[in-house]
Amino acid sequence: MSKEIIKIGKFVSLTYSIADPEGNILEQSDLPVSYIHGGETELIGGMDKAVAGKCQGDTVTLTIPSSQGFGEHDPSLTFTDAVENVPPQFRQLGAEVQMQNDDGEVKSFIVTKIEDGKLTVDGNHPLAGKTLIINVKILEVREATKEDAMHVGLPGQSHTLN
């Protein structure tokens, strides 16, 4: 029996890790990510396009520039203020602060720096501005079943995995 290759309509299950160019692991998915190939499911950095034509057991390594990953770092989403102007519950690294703009849109910011009496929050994704090395291992490729379609969606249904 020949190995099934990844093409439109196939059920695909994979794991991946994301590293920086120095090899530091930034994110890792040890639990399989599953989708039906060819739908509107988008995997970070075009992983879904890179695995097309591959088989179970194959590995793929992608180098993703920041513009195709989480975007460039936007300095306008970084704010610094005196620590005493910040409520005490947010005065720790990694604290998540919800901010609302004049249009009522809410965005999460993370406390990234506290020094010299100043506190900095950043609304960029933590991986924004970084080149990413994505290592993908394909665990399973097979015909999609009706049950798969109910859980991960058919081609034409929108899902985003990242």
pLDDT tens readout for residues 54-103: 999 999 999 999 888 888 999 999 999 999 999 999 999 999 999 888 89
CATH classification of the domain holding 107: 2.40.10.330
Contact 18, 26 (CB under 8 A): yes
Task: Give 39-59 pLDDT, tens digit per residue.
Answer: 777 777 778 889 999 999 999
Would the pLDDT of 162 be above 50? no
Q: Are residues 18 and 59 in the same domain?
A: yes
Q: What is the model's pLDDT at position 115?
A: 95
**Confidence label for 158 from pLDDT (cuts 50, 70 and 90):** very low
Cα separation, 141 vs 4, in Å, equals 6
Same-domain pairing of 16 and 61: yes
Rg (CA), the chain: 20
- Its domain, for residue 14, covers 10-70+129-161
Residues 66 and 79 in one domain: no
Residue type, position 124, single letter: N
pTM of the model: 0.70
What is the arithmetic mean of pLDDT over 104-129? 93
Residue 99 shares a structural domain with residue 117: yes
User: Residue range 102-130: average pLDDT?
Assistant: 92
Instruction: Note whether 53 and 89 are same-domain residues.
Output: no
Question: For the range 111-114, what are the long-range contacts, defined as Cβ-Cβ under 8 Å and sequence gap of 24 or more?
Answer: 112/78, 113/80, 114/83
